[in-house]
């Protein structure tokens, strides 16, 4: 099966046969590598659909992204299309990252917060929030962004920021030694 052929055609407002490709990858995980290769395809429609498929597959099996971590991080740092960036922002928190990879990913997500697309901003804020769950220093950087967004963001971004604040209120307090370590 030619995965990329099934993801071609139409425009960026449609998903084409992406759902069918997701189903096939869930049955044959090795096909994910073809989708990851498609991130750099010449056709922006194929790039967008590959990102969409990879995101959907990784939502079910985040561990499958690990072997493609370097390709994903590299591509995420250069891609310009908003339709691809928001999928990259969704996938990055699913990766197991070394400290240096995490610094790189966090810097990229902060850069994505400056994107013109509200969807990219929303998913980037969500990603940073998720990555900060076990990182008090990062959480301290994310909280002011959430606070500013609640008052100044677009309606979608404000709504997400409010939901994230609600999630913070539900989180169990860290043991005293963990809070003081920062």
Distance CA 109, CA 86 (A): 10
Residue pLDDT, tens place only, 92-135: 999 999 999 999 999 999 999 999 999 999 999 999 999 999 89
What residues have CB less than 8 Å from 5, skipping those under 6 apart?
none
CA atoms within 13 A on the CB side of 175: 2
Q: Which of 24-28, 134-138, 167-171 has the lowest mean pLDDT?
A: 167-171
pLDDT at 170 over 80: no
Contact 19, 50 (CB under 8 A): no
Residue pLDDT, tens place only, 27-60: 999 999 999 999 999 999 989 999 999 999 999 9
| Mean pLDDT, range 125-148, rounded to an integer | 93
pTM score, whole prediction: 0.85
**133, two tokens:** 């769950």
Question: CA torsion 168→171→172→177, rounded to 10°?
Answer: -50
**Position 171 confidence tier, pLDDT thresholds 50, 70, 90:** low
């Amino acid at each position: 099966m030619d995965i990329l052929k099934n993801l071609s055609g139409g425009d960026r407002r449609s998903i084409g046969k992406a759902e069918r490709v997701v189903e096939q990858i869930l049955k044959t995980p090795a096909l994910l590598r073809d989708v990851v290769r498609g991130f750099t395809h010449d056709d922006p429609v194929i790039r967008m659909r590959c990102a969409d498929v990879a995101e959907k597959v990784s939502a079910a099996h985040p561990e499958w992204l690990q072997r493609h971590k370097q390709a994903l991080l590299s591509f995420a740092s250069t891609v310009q299309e908003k339709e691809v960036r928001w999928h990259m922002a969704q996938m990055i928190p699913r990766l197991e990252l070394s400290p240096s990879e995490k610094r790189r990913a966090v810097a990229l997500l902060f850069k994505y917060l400056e994107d013109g697309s509200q969807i990219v901003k929303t998913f980037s804020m969500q990603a940073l929030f998720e990555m900060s769950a076990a990182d008090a220093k990062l959480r301290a950087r994310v909280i002011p962004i959430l606070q500013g967004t609640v008052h100044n963001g677009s309606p979608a971004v404000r709504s997400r920021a409010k939901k994230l604040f609600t999630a913070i209120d539900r989180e169990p307090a860290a043991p005293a030694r963990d809070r003081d370590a920062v």
